[in-house]
Structure 1
């Protein structure tokens, strides 16, 4: 990766990490800060026929996945595809650390193993997205070279 682009990706990764830490380490749960917007949105979805299984717990789980997708994607771009395991391990360790801090130092927050799972799944989704894009680009490049290299009949 070119040096200038790498710097931008590293800077974006740092911004994502800081944003994630601010969200997960704020002293108050997000639903309390948002004034119940999430609950109102879920109620509106239920009124429109969305099943009752779509509740706050599911939305929080999906939000935790989404929170770590950029960390997984940018991490593997920075470290390279051969170090995907390191990105996944660091993401899991970061999530475990956050949950421990919430359990010990943030009395209004609730630590959860489900959050660790969701965050790690999110990082894995980010890794998978980058792998899919790289695979598609590789195939497109091969197809173009195969077409241009083949004799015309």
Structure 2
């Protein structure tokens, strides 16, 4: 417990007295609980962004190089009556959704849960930018379906980030209450 926390809990401080719920203490506590998530978000984005750039902006589509192997794997699964609902087009859509879940989640961690809408807007803008860039690249195909799938992934990522940050904040408040009382 810091000196400010002790002073706020005891109702005294360097300037006189203040209530135990002083805004300074609340803001101090909120920013400290979000710090590990922000650090995780920054590190995660530094690792994830180059991978996404490589997958989405490489001139020859990387997925087409592995497509024959993936198709043979799907055929193997289908022959054993497993994942019969999964085929190449559906897998590609799911991959687009999955790619933007961690990006939006990490971005929301960096910006904080209160700015979830900024993380979502930046994620949608990124997918639109990627698809516009792909439109002008030989061998790449831009699609509205990719924008929708990536945006759905961004929504899922932002919802997860807000939920995780809420759980972390609640756990911090509970642990702080047990330490103080």
TM-score by length of 2: 0.69
- Structure 1: gaps spanning 5 or more residues: none
Distance between the aligned counterparts of 1:45 and 1:146, measured in 2? 52
Higher relative contact order (CA 8 A, sep 6+): 1
Q: Which has the larger radius of gyration?
A: 2
Name the structure 2 match of 1:115. 146
Provide the residue aligned with 1:94 in structure 2. Answer: 126
Partner of 2:101: 69
Whole-angstrom CA distance in 2 between matches of 1:139 and 1:63: 33
The alignment partner of 2:136 has SS state of helix
How well do the aligned residues superpose, as a CA RMSD in angstroms? 2.8
Q: Displacement of 1:76 after TM fit?
A: 0.6
Q: Contact conserved, 1:31 with 1:38, CA < 8 A, in 2?
A: no
In the TM superposition, residue 132 of structure 1 has moved relative to its aligned partner by 2.3
Shift of 1:144: 6.4
Whole-Å Cα distance in 1 between the matches of residues 165 and 147 of structure 2?
Answer: 27
Q: How many residues align structurally? A: 149
TM-score scaled to structure 1, two decimals? 0.80
| Distance verdict in 2 for CA 1:145–1:90, change over 3 Å | closer
